[in-house]
Amino acid sequence: MVPDSVTHLHLPTLIAYGTLAFYAASATMNTLEFTALVGAGSFVAGLLGALTGLGGGVVLVPLLALFFKVDIRYAIGASLVSVIATSSGAAAAYVKEGFSNIRIGMFLEIATTIGALAGAFLATRIPTSAIAIVFGVMLLYSAYVSRKPRSQKERNLPPNPLATRLKMNGSFPEAGGIRHYNVQNVPTGFSLMFGAGTLSGLLGIGSGAVKVLAMDQAMKIPFKVSTTTSNFMIGVTAAASAGVYLSRGYVDPGLAMPVMLGVLAGSFLGSRILVEAETKWLRIIFSVVIAVLGLQMLYHGLTGKI
């Protein structure tokens, strides 16, 4: 559908933007230049996030904090807002295709929203260097998860009494017809979701990596259903901490504007380009970028530079 040149084009541009951003950190720019550069960087983050399925939100805060020297609190506020935009945009498509399980999402959102509220309150109380350290660990974890092969789940598990009572078992369209699945380990999944919500509220990210861990590994939900349901939940989870961030003055319109519009445009384009062969090594490169950013966040947090 889309020529390979499109994806080839974007790695050099990523590097070019990286260099520009590096230059940006040292030079004084006016608001128009700053907006254009932040918007371009966010566009690339959204594009790579959608192409690799790793989500662009996780690199936004390090991009803003490390390269653009934005205070991490403004960075988190802007990132959180953009996370609502991309997850809602993508969820709109997935829900219609019948992959997301709305009941699983709704039930687990009790845990993620309460966690997100706790995370947002925590963020206003702990020092920014501690946030940077947690962020660094989270980035390294995300990079690790992205390199791990998908778990080969047992099919045709027996119905679990609690999951059945909560009407969580479902079905989804597959190549060979409709596939039915039975959800397992509800309490473990629920607890992990509380943790995912707290991280989302604390760091201003979607924390899709932890959400998928809870649904995919603990609750044994098929991969396609976990990823799309996780995406469906991210918007509501982020909204729960967004209210706190807005009222605490973390959401700056001048900064959130290019971030939100850039990531949204990038992920929209990324979801249209699906070149299987290319995404494999794109994933490798992007996970290396995430790991490097993780180490830098750790270093800046530990030395008290953030």
Partner 1 sequence: MMSALMSSLKNWDDQRTETFIGNLLRVGVLLAASVVGIGAIIFLHKYGGLVSDYRTFHGEPDQFRTIRGIFHEALTFRGRGIIQLGLVLLMATPVARVVFSIWAFAAEKDRMYVAFTVIVLAVLLYSFLGSGI
By CB under 8 A, the count of residues binding partner 1 is 70
* Cα 250 versus chain centre, distance: 19
Would you count residue 179 as binding partner 1 (CB under 8 A)? no
* Residue 194 neighbours by CB under 8 Å, 6+ apart: 111, 112, 114, 115
> Applying CB under 8 A, which of residues 62, 189, 208, 235 lies at the interface with partner 1?
235
HSE-CB of 19 using CA atoms within 13 angstroms: 5
Query: Position 263: which residue type?
Result: V
CB of 51 to partner 1, least distance (A): 20
Comparing CB distances to partner 1, the nearer of 138 and 306 is 306
Is residue 269 near partner 1 by the rule CB under 8 A? no
In order, the DSSP letters of 87-115 are HHHHHHHHHHHT-S-HHHHHHHHHHHHHH
Q: Which of 2, 9, 16, 92 binds partner 1 (CB under 8 A)?
A: 92
* Residue 13 interacts with partner 1 (CB under 8 A): yes or no: no
- Residue 289 φ then ψ, to 5°: -55, -45
Q: Which of 14, 54, 81, 140 touches partner 1 (CB under 8 A)? A: 81
- Spatial separation of the C-alpha atoms in residues 58 and 204, rounded to whole Å: 9
The span of 31-39, 50-58, 222-230, 288-296 binding partner 1 (CB under 8 A) equals 31-39
Query: Any contact of residue 257 with partner 1 (CB under 8 A)?
Result: yes
48 binds partner 1 (CB under 8 A): no
Q: Does 103 bind partner 1 (CB under 8 A)?
A: yes
Q: Which residues fall within 8 angstroms of residue 60, CB to CB, at 6 or more apart?
A: 42, 45, 75, 78, 79, 82, 205, 259, 263
Q: Which of 232, 238, 228, 241 is nearest to 206 (CA)?
A: 238
| Binding site residues, partner 1, CB under 8 A | 28-32, 34-35, 68-71, 73-74, 81, 84-85, 88-89, 91-93, 95-96, 98, 100, 102-103, 106-107, 109-110, 113-114, 116-117, 120, 159, 164, 166-167, 169-171, 178, 180, 235-236, 238-244, 246-258, 260-261, 264
